[in-house]
Amino acid sequence: MKPALDLHNEPIKDLIIKMTVPVMLAGLVTTSYGFIDMIFASRLGSVEVASIAFVTPLFIMLQALASGVIRGGVSIIATLLGQQKPEEASAYATQLRLVVISLSLIFSIPGFILLPVLLELAGVTAELFVQSLIYSRILFLSLPIILIFQLYVTLFKSQGKMSVISNIAIGGVVCNTVLNALFIYVFNYEIDGLAYATLITNVIQMLIILFLYKRQKHEFQIGWRTAKQFSIIEIWKRLLKVGVPLSLSQASAHFGFLVLNIFIIQYSHQAVAAFAIGNRIHSLLFFPAKEMGNGLEPLLAQNWGRKSIDRVKETIKIGMLYTVLFGIFAAIVIQLIKYPIAHFLTKDDPVTYQLVIDYVGLVGWTAIPWAILHTLQGVFNSFQKTIFTLIINVVRLWGLRIPGILMFYYFMPSIAESGVWYTMFFSNVLTMIFAIVYFLVIVPPMLKKEDDLRESMARTEKEFA
């Protein structure tokens, strides 16, 4: 396996490529899971597509409540490594694993039990209720497995060990595809076969990454006991202080999709299916754009921990340049691939097909602001200022999307589901503008303060010398 990257000495341009390309590839492959499920579901019918679309935001919302703590915790660990405090990093890694296990059980067990109630409250049709319940109950069994896998992926990432991430992701998508085909075409399962394929794939991935992690040497240790000189209470407080805003922000984003589905189902199940298919097309390049920001976090966090401000500035500058270029590329590619993919997934349903084309044709261009937004989020997360991410997602959901949907739904009913499409477009653009302004107000003064402090200390040392 390739050695860890030297985040403190290698050229920034090279490091950004080495850090972001593997996680972008992993992001692309990860989104392929849902895309592959959507392909097989489309062979079964539009109700199955709508069922997956309806329950997926709920599942991911609960997953996000724990995965946010993982991201926040790994940012802390990366900073401690930059400060050359491996023992304290080990203490945080140990407690982070316990936090993740606890949260996965807290969210998965009640979620499994309450699924029928939640679906009834959403007001879905009887057929959609049955299919959604079958798929989601099997999927919920995999929640603890997915979170443990994510934890070890991010622990690899925090040390600059990137190759394992993309390799496991590629293997996972191949496994999921093969299992989907076996369950659907050989064993004659229906939507439950898609869920079983995902569950088995998640188990295999978790076992592989545990094996790979155990056989390698790391900059810190992860065990079941924390050294006595570190306070477990203080560690949990810091993990939750940094991680909870990320958890709430990620969960609110997916809660927003759940709310959107509740409104869209009022139009037709074709509209729900079109929204799901359109989001799958977007995710092929939106998600890798999002992962660019995630890939920068360990690089920024470790150099911030060492107070290498010049490297931090260079990382932000070059990272943002790459982000804009990739966002433009992604937006163009989305417009090129929307027709063949929509045709393939809608299975000769002209209504759903046209809805997909309208949705992707408008919202696909927001790959550019989406990439910029998530790179800025990555910058703030690396500084452990995760409240920024929470503010952004709260503003986007409660300040823009829900009011926009209500406005179109009640005051412009004639444009039907197109009101949702317009809301998605404007919310992405306006959120990016808000994020840029927030960044300019906070980050440059913060970096200047560190620069001034460093120069003051240098002058003091020179005077005493």
DSSP-assigned letters across all residues of 23-35: HHHHHHHHHHHHH
Query: What are the sequence ranges of the domains in the chain?
Result: 12-464
- Please, what is the average pLDDT of the chain? 83
Residue of 96, 380, 97, 105 lying closest to 239 (CA atoms): 96
DSSP state of 386: T
Q: Quick one: average pLDDT of 389-410?
A: 84
**Sorting pLDDT into bands at 50, 70 and 90, what band is 183?**
very high
Return the ∠ at Cα 28 (arms to 36 and 174), rounded to 5°: 45
Q: Quick one: average pLDDT of 13-31?
A: 74
Residue 3 has pLDDT above 50, yes or no: no
DSSP state of 10: S
Classify residue 414 as exposed, middle or buried by CB count within 10 Å of its CB (0-12, 13-18, 19+).
exposed
Instruction: Give the residue with greater pLDDT, 294 vs 155.
Output: 155
Q: Quick one: average pLDDT of 166-193?
A: 87
Model pLDDT, residue 1:
43
Whole-angstrom distance, CA of residue 145 vs CA of residue 100: 10
Spatial neighbors of 284 by CB under 8 A, at least 6 apart, are 28, 31, 32, 35, 334, 337
Q: Quick one: average pLDDT of 8-32?
A: 75
**Sorting pLDDT into bands at 50, 70 and 90, what band is 4?**
low
Spatial neighbors of 78 by CB under 8 A, at least 6 apart, are 158, 297, 298, 301, 302, 305, 382
3-state secondary structure 81-129: HHCCCHHHHHHHHHHHHHHHHHHHHHHHHHHHHHHHHHHHHHCCCHHHH
Half-sphere exposure of 423 (CA within 13 A, CB side): 28
